[in-house]
Amino acid sequence: MMATRSRVQVKPTVRRAFYTAAAIALAGCSGFQSVLDPKGPRAADVARLHWIFTGIATVVYLIVIGALVYALWRASTRKPFIDEHQYHENPDQAQVMKRGVIIAVSATVIIMFTALVLAVSTGSAIATVRGEKPLRIDIVGHQWWWEVSYDDPIPQNQAKTANEIHVPVGRSVLLKMRSTDVIHSFWAPNLAGKKDLIPGHETVTWFRADTAGIYRGQCAEFCGYQHAKMAFYIVAQPRIDFERWLDQQREPAPKPTDSLTQAGQRVFLSAPCAMCHSIGGTGAYGNIGPDLTHLASRRTIAAGTLPLTTGNLAGWILDPQSIKPGAKMPPTQLDPQSLQALLAYLGTLK
Ligand code: CUA
């Protein structure tokens, strides 16, 4: 008689749950925001140290647990010492125990010392900027967004953006960082460890991206209500693409060319927007919120909170507090025509 074989049917919900769990597990080790997926020398040094420490800790753990299991097993299979008198009558046993303690203490000291040397040498290795003439970028932490300035001795060559840091692949980047309000912490796990931004005190860190890609980073120091929505992206691109991007960022905003976008610019300049935001070449020089000169070239709004789409931007302008409660941006009252014109204008700020 032939047995009929049927395929096991897995419920779609179970399958989805499995894939989600697998994705979350994998995301912990690789992907765009992970210390275990280094994309530059600084992060690679830290990841290497992590794996060496994990290896040492694993070996020590296995030895300790092995010794414990052995001791328990041996204790259960033979008579214990009755008293101290008997212990001293068994000099061989005493000798073995003494040697065991000496070996264990020596091993502990050697392991701790090795770990100390590795940690200190890694710390000093990552503290030094590698490569010549790093690109300098100034970062200012705000509740809850990142101001990013590309410094240049020639004023026309300076550029300003927010929450998205473009860097050339293979060139070291020196970040000079400060904060206008509270302590924040810059952390792009794939590229470098954390570095605090401190009010009234400039701090410096550096990284180098060796692989082109988009790496997510975030504030790593609790800084208030929207600390969790203080993310940023590092866009590492080939040098030529980076130069092109930077040239474009240095330009003032494109002039509106049709009646809708011209109306949108008027809305921007007459609504409260211009009191907090700048748009290069328009006379809007507010410096409380992000510079919007090239807003439409960015990937997200509200410090990585939402992808930049017209719909999200509309929601954000009308009611930012429902998206990011506590954010400094107040709601803006606009009639539908004004909103459409404003969105059309902002969409031209490439
Ligand atoms: Cu800024 Cu947490």
| Atom number in ligand 1 closest to CA 228 | 2
Nearest to 228 by CA among 123, 303, 165: 303
The response to whether residue 222 sits with its C-beta less than 6 Å from ligand 1 reads yes
Report how far ligand 1's centroid is from the alpha carbon of 23 (Å): 27
CA dist., res. 106 & res. 116, Å (int): 15
Report how far ligand 1's centroid is from the alpha carbon of 187 (Å): 10
Alpha helices in the chain (DSSP H): 12-27, 41-77, 84-88, 91-127, 239-250, 259-270, 273-276, 310-318, 320-323, 336-347
pLDDT confidence of residue 34: 87
pLDDT by residue (tens digit) across 201-248?
A: 999 999 999 999 999 999 999 999 999 999 999 999 999 999 999 999
The response to whether residue 177 sits with its C-beta less than 6 Å from ligand 1 reads no
Report how far ligand 1's centroid is from the alpha carbon of 236 (Å): 23
Better pLDDT: 296 or 24: 296
- φ, ψ of residue 331 to 5 degrees: the values are -65, 150
CA dist., res. 302 & res. 304, Å (int): 6
The response to whether residue 219 sits with its C-beta less than 6 Å from ligand 1 reads yes
Report how far ligand 1's centroid is from the alpha carbon of 303 (Å): 11
pLDDT confidence of residue 84: 62
Report how far ligand 1's centroid is from the alpha carbon of 227 (Å): 4
| Atom number in ligand 1 closest to CA 220 | 2
| Atom number in ligand 1 closest to CA 141 | 1
Mean pLDDT (whole number) for 122-133: 87
pLDDT by residue (tens digit) across 143-158?
A: 999 999 998 888 888 9
* Residue 6 confidence (pLDDT) above 70: no
pLDDT confidence of residue 2: 43
pLDDT confidence of residue 247: 94
* Residue 122 confidence (pLDDT) above 80: yes
CA dist., res. 184 & res. 162, Å (int): 15
Paired sense of beta strands 159-162 and 164-168, if any: unpaired
CA distances from 263 to 284, 291, 331, 332, 346 (A): 15, 20, 20, 17, 11
| Atom number in ligand 1 closest to CA 143 | 1
* Residue 258 confidence (pLDDT) above 70: yes
pLDDT by residue (tens digit) across 299-336?
A: 999 999 999 999 999 999 999 999 999 999 999 989 99
The response to whether residue 285 sits with its C-beta less than 6 Å from ligand 1 reads no
Asked if residue 51 has a cis previous peptide bond (ω within 30° of 0), the answer is: no
pLDDT by residue (tens digit) across 263-299?
A: 999 999 998 898 999 998 888 888 899 999 999 999 9
CA dist., res. 264 & res. 273, Å (int): 12
pLDDT confidence of residue 4: 46
Report how far ligand 1's centroid is from the alpha carbon of 49 (Å): 26
What letter does residue 198 receive in the DSSP assignment? B
Report how far ligand 1's centroid is from the alpha carbon of 336 (Å): 34
3-state SS, residue 186: strand
74-79-82 Cα angle (round to 5): 125
| Atom number in ligand 1 closest to CA 182 | 1
| Atom number in ligand 1 closest to CA 221 | 2
CA dist., res. 240 & res. 231, Å (int): 26
